Structure 1
Amino acid sequence: MIKFGIMALHLNSENKYVNEIASRAASFGIECFRFIPSQINPVTMLVTGHRYDTERSRWNAAEFPIPDILYDRCFYGDDRHSKQCIPIVSWLKNNPDITFLGYGLPNKLEIYEVLASSPLAPYLPASKPVSLPEEVLNELKRHRKIILKPVNGSGGNGIYYLEVQKEGILAKTEKQGNQVNYLFSIKSKLSRWLESLLTKKKFLVQPYLQLTDDQDRPFDVRVLLQKDANGHWLERGRGIRTGKKDGILSNLSAGGVAAPFRAWVDKVDPSLKNFICEELDELLVKIPAVLEDSFMPLFELGVDIGITKDGAVWILDLNSKPGRKVILQSLPHLQEELFSAPLLYAKKIGSAVQKERKRYNEKTLSN
């Protein structure tokens, strides 16, 4: 039986998703575990976590060897526990006896540098790292409206919008679903605020793109790509995320709502609709290939696409640990596919690992 471990920073993280996977595991010939990286004993190499009891449909506390295949669902912050777990997960990924469902992606800047040297370059908003207030101010002077994004951010957290106005510089961000505005009429105060921001995290700057609907609400397209049981990339679904009026984020965590992509695109002018759909289809084939040519193998990708009113298509973000809310809310009939997908792919790579070990053992026994 394949040993499949779901790894997170908290045992109850993504509880519904993890439970749905675990309840189906036995039917795929898989035994399911969940654990926190920091709960691995470096001496015994045993993990303290939970084993799923199929007969009773519940998790039981248990101690067990590190599972053969790991599904990494760790979402790191700036907290002490995240910093403790990062090197442990890195160590696991370098262990030849452990296989990850997907090995994840590096930070936004490294991804940008790879994509910028590929055929996907025309679809990228120009991005550059900034570490000094003067660098941000120069970009603001040049573009009048800019976006600051954390290099290691996810979920829309820590994104700032800056705009030159008559009264001064407006800075906006969203925290816990609420918009927070700052207006700096004095340049020195803005510089001090930027310096405080830039010393806490690494940021990149982009010119602001007008990615809003006819009601001035930010919106984008979220597409979920995954590998199937044969290891081939396929599109699970695409949905529209729409944020609050005059907001800067479309993320559901920032108060956005999800809707089917088809319902939106069918309202677009037919000639523009065909162009957008063709561009999207082409991008979604190229993106995984470009990424896996430079980085370790992946299992899934959340692709965020921006579309301007004139039909220009932009790659906004790529996430190797995507959520499923947008797809489940806009295309609820796909839930069985989404909950079974990790198990189907785990079964494929698990069988390959077992065959490889069997061949290796046969060779060593004959010598």
Structure 2
Amino acid sequence: MTTFGIMTLHIESEASYLHEIAARSHSCGMECYHFLPSSINPLTQQIKGRRFCAVEQNWIDDEFPIPSLIYDRCFYGDDEHSKQCIPIVSWLKSRDDITFLGFGLPNKLELYETLSNSRLAPYLPHSKSIKECSEVMSALNKQKKIIIKPINGSQGYGIYYLKKNDKTIHVKTEKNKKIISRIFPNETKLFQWLQPLINFRPYLIQPYLELSNTASRPFDIRILLQKDEQGVWVERGEGIRIGNTGGILSNLSAGGSVTDFTTWSSTLSQTNKEYICSELNFITTNLPLILENEISPLFEIGVDIGVARNGAIWILDVNSKPGRKVVLSTNPDLKDTLFLAPLLYGKYLIQSASKERKSHYEKTLYH
């Protein structure tokens, strides 16, 4: 029986999602395990983790060898445990005897540079790393409104909106589902706040895009793409994420809500609807092929698309470890399909002996 391992940084991560996958593993001829990278014994290469019992339908503590198939659901932060796990995961990805469902993507800046040299370049907001505070002020003087975000960020954490007024600078972010604002009287005070921020982690600058709806709530389109049981890219579903009034994020972790794409698109004129659907199809058809050709093999992608007030379409983010809340809340009938997908694609990889792997492991950990 094939051993299928789900790897996370914390034992409680995505508990219901992992349980749903594991509950279906036996029917796919697989033994399912759950473990942390840090729980691998470097000498024996045995793991202390959990095995899913098909009879009792629950997890039991166990010790086992490294599974032959691994589904990587590790989300890294700035903590010591993340720093400990990154080289372990890199080592696992370099091994020929282990098959990963996907290798992930590099950070936002490297991803931007890759896509900037592709046919998707027109859909990318210009992005530039911040090396000095003066670069932020220079961008503000030119554009009046900008966004700064962590190069290695995810789920909307650490994103700030900056606006230059006549005599002050307004900074806004969202934490714990609340909008937090600060007014700086001059650039000296702004720099006193900004310098520790960019010292702590690398940031990038992007222009602020007017992506809010008529109720002044930020929104975007989340599309989930996956490979099916034959290794073919398919679109699983899409939904509209809507943020808080006056906010800057539509992420569900920031308190956003969801509506289905059909309901939202029915409010558009027929011409606008056809245009947006055509653009979305162009992006989702080309994006997976470009990423796999230029970076590394993947299993799934979450794509966030913004529609500006002037009608422009923007690729806001690309995530190789996407969630499923948006798609499941708008189409609950997809439940079985989404929970079986990792197992069926893993089965395809084993049966087709698909061993093509690229040496970009160290660049593809963060997403």
Question: Normalization by structure 1: what TM-score?
Answer: 0.95
Structure 2 residue aligned with 1:69: 69
**Is the deviation greater in 34-43 or in 192-201?**
192-201
Following TM superposition, by how much is the alpha carbon of 1:182 offset from its aligned partner in structure 2, in angstroms? Answer: 1.0
Query: 1:61-210, aligned counterparts within 5 Å?
Result: 61-210=61-210
Question: Per-residue CA shift, 1:300-330, capped at 9, x if unaligned?
Answer: 0000000012321100000000000111111
Following TM superposition, by how much is the alpha carbon of 1:186 offset from its aligned partner in structure 2, in angstroms? Answer: 2.1
Following TM superposition, by how much is the alpha carbon of 1:299 offset from its aligned partner in structure 2, in angstroms? Answer: 0.2
Question: Per-residue CA shift, 1:187-227, capped at 9, x if unaligned?
Answer: 21101111111101101100100001000000000000000
SS of structure 1 residue aligned to 2:353: helix
2:155–2:251 CA contact under 8 A, matched in 1: yes
2-structure distance, mates of 1:303, 1:187 = 35
RMSD: 1.2
1:150–1:204 CA contact under 8 A, matched in 2: yes
1:131–1:199 CA contact under 8 A, matched in 2: no
Structure 1 residue aligned with 2:253: 253
2:137–2:187 CA contact under 8 A, matched in 1: no
2-structure distance, mates of 1:355, 1:149 = 36
Paired AA for residue 171 in structure 1: V
2-structure distance, mates of 1:338, 1:306 = 24
Question: Per-residue CA shift, 1:281-311, capped at 9, x if unaligned?
Answer: 1110000011001111000000000001232
SS of structure 2 residue aligned to 1:181: strand
Question: Per-residue CA shift, 1:32-74, capped at 9, x if unaligned?
Answer: 0000000000100101100110011011111100000100000
Following TM superposition, by how much is the alpha carbon of 1:331 offset from its aligned partner in structure 2, in angstroms? Answer: 1.3
Paired AA for residue 204 in structure 2: L
1-structure distance, mates of 2:232, 2:32 = 24
Paired AA for residue 69 in structure 2: I
1-structure distance, mates of 2:354, 2:307 = 45
SS of structure 1 residue aligned to 2:3: strand
Following TM superposition, by how much is the alpha carbon of 1:354 offset from its aligned partner in structure 2, in angstroms? Answer: 9.5
**Is the deviation greater in 40-49 or in 180-189?**
180-189
Count of matched residue positions in the alignment of Structure 1 and Structure 2: 356
Query: 1:290-329, aligned counterparts within 5 Å?
Result: 290-329=290-329
Structure 1 residue aligned with 2:12: 12
Q: Which has the higher contact order (CA 8 A, sep 6+)?
A: 2
Question: Normalization by structure 2: what TM-score?
Answer: 0.95
SS of structure 2 residue aligned to 1:166: coil
Please say if 1:219 is aligned against 2:219. Answer: yes
Percentage of matched positions with identical amino acids: 53
2-structure distance, mates of 1:227, 1:301 = 9
Structure 1 residue aligned with 2:287: 287
**Is the deviation greater in 302-311 or in 155-164?**
302-311
**Ranges in structure 1 where 5+ consecutive residues have no aligned partner:** 357-367
**Ranges in structure 2 where 5+ consecutive residues have no aligned partner:** 357-367
2-structure distance, mates of 1:47, 1:316 = 38
Please say if 1:53 is aligned against 2:49. Answer: no
Following TM superposition, by how much is the alpha carbon of 1:113 offset from its aligned partner in structure 2, in angstroms? Answer: 0.3
2:45–2:66 CA contact under 8 A, matched in 1: yes
Structure 2 residue aligned with 1:33: 33
Structure 2 residue aligned with 1:363: none
Paired AA for residue 132 in structure 2: L
SS of structure 2 residue aligned to 1:246: coil
1:239–1:260 CA contact under 8 A, matched in 2: yes
Runs of 4+ displaced beyond 3 Å:
353-356
2-structure distance, mates of 1:337, 1:257 = 23
